[in-house]
Structure 1
Amino acid sequence: MSDLSPRRDPASRPVLLVVDVADGGRGDPAFEAELQRLTASVVAAAGSVGFLVDRVPAAQTPQDELDARLAAADAVVVTGGEDVDPSFYGGDLSEPHLGQTFPAADRAQVALVRSAVAERIPLVGICRGMQLVNVALGGDLVQHLHDGGHVSDDTADSMVDHRVLVEPGSELAKALGATELDVRSSHHQAVGRVAAGLRVVARADDGTIEAVEHEEAPVWCVQWHPEDVGSRGTVLTDLLEAALAARRAS
């Protein structure tokens, strides 16, 4: 951190900045409700690990306030949501499968990710959060996966269960204590060209990139949804505990 950053009392409760898009404004009420449930799960898990949560809607927060809240945070989570606007990575604006986008939120989150990486603030990206991190650092996305990707047609539950293989020896494998996982996903896009500084550390059976981590900064991102109520294991709390440990070691 720079010398201008707020000084933290080592005995104070660590702060987790959860960055998303504010409730409302989405064209799909069912998707809106699902995102609210998923974010609530992240908040609950963070509290169980020991974090005090500061939830911030990226598009509705002035950049100077967002910067200040990042500087006061011990770690960051960028959550899932809508498609990243293709203009941020040179994608096709006319892609027929493109979902709703929130460019103002994307712009704010891109700036926040770059600052977090530069300042070495631990960062966890989930689903769209992983895609956003890749875009922020110079990568691009597969705009629509074959056969619709890992997303169910069931309007009551969009999650698909599948297997993920994690690279042995990766920081992610160490944090999770596993190299094979059964996970739940809901996404029709994925990381394409991997940004400089990131490395692929997990894939699905079909080759889809399922996790990346940074070569130098404490950044771990997963494409699946460990915060979903039907998820198995302790992936979410493992990631949050890894972020907390990295912050305390800095």
Structure 2
Amino acid sequence: MSHRPRIAVTTSARSGWRIFPLVALNVWLAGGRARRWGAGRPADLDTVDGLIIGGGDDISPDLYGGRLVTSARLDPARDALERRLVEAAIALGKPVLGICRGAQMINVALGGTLDQDAYGTYTASDRVWTILPKKRVEIAPGTRLAEIAGTGPMRVNALHSQAVDRLGEALVVAARDRGGMVQAIERDRDPFALGVQWHPEHLLYARRQRALFAALVAAAGARRRHGAQLAAVDRMAGA
């Protein structure tokens, strides 16, 4: 058996073919081994040590009692799969990293809600739509994200229209943009869960972005050893 923690990565049916290799490379550089999951594919959490919920389609408001905006692009089968996986991963004590849509799915699966028209609500937020790091986010001090990636302002990309609204159970805000929109959330207890509103897989040249994948792999390794995940992440961040 490989010593590398096994990380499942869920992807969009539309863009997963080009996004998964990027995520898999980031996972490999962090010391893990990725496998692609999606609606219609086998998805057994007993076969992996950690989970990444990838970016892509909007999440249906049916999952949290919200209203549907006409611009939403939905994939109900993916919604159902990923909600089940996040709920099960937390119940089984397996760590989760959420990327863009994935951050939103972590929040919804843990009982939170989304703002369907985030830029309509947060009018002072910079609305950019690019894989280039042109958006500035502020990391909340005292959070695990601050330990992992540092406390200074971070330049990230942005490809989203929805954002976290009411927080799910045991989640805290780890970053916001200058308009106040939530840009990262994290779980305050084991198992490790972190969701970022941007796409770190496109920024693998940046040490702070690679650290997000390293944190997940550290937590997944701890889960494999039946150890404390947040403590393992803290050790990784302090190394």
**TM exceeding 0.5:** yes
**Deviation per CA, 1:129-149, whole angstroms, max 9, x where unpaired?**
001111111111100123597
TM value normalised by structure 2: 0.83
Q: Give the stretch that moved more between structures: 234-243 or 115-124.
A: 234-243
Q: Does the CA-based 8 Å contact 2:149-2:211 persist in structure 1?
A: yes
**Deviation per CA, 1:99-151, whole angstroms, max 9, x where unpaired?**
22011110110010011111221110010000111111111110012359765
Q: Does the CA-based 8 Å contact 1:170-1:201 persist in structure 2?
A: yes
Structure 1 pair 53/158, CA: closer, same or farther in 2 (3 Å)?
closer
Does residue 161 of the first structure (1) align with residue 134 of the second (2)? Answer: yes
RMSD: 2.2
**Match of residue 19 from structure 2:** 38
Gaps of 5+ in 2: 228-239
Which residue of 140, 145, 159 maps to 1:186? 159
Please give the alpha-carbon distance, in whole angstroms, between the structure 1 residues aligned to 2:138 and 2:46. 34
**Match of residue 142 from structure 1:** 115
Displacement of 1:152 in angstroms is 4.3
Please give the alpha-carbon distance, in whole angstroms, between the structure 1 residues aligned to 2:215 and 2:32. 12
Which residue of 53, 61, 64 maps to 1:89? 64
Displacement of 1:36 in angstroms is 4.3
**Match of residue 224 from structure 1:** 198
Query: Which amino acid is 2:198 matched to?
Result: W
Which residue of 65, 75, 90 maps to 1:117? 90
**Match of residue 4 from structure 2:** 13
- SS of the residue corresponding to residue 228 of structure 1 reads helix
Please give the alpha-carbon distance, in whole angstroms, between the structure 1 residues aligned to 2:146 and 2:30. 19
Does residue 244 of the first structure (1) align with residue 217 of the second (2)? Answer: yes
TM value normalised by structure 1: 0.80
Does residue 53 of the first structure (1) align with residue 26 of the second (2)? Answer: no
Does residue 80 of the first structure (1) align with residue 55 of the second (2)? Answer: yes
Please give the alpha-carbon distance, in whole angstroms, between the structure 2 residues aligned to 1:106 and 1:151. 25
Gaps of 5+ in 1: 1-8, 24-31
Please give the alpha-carbon distance, in whole angstroms, between the structure 2 residues aligned to 1:218 and 1:130. 13
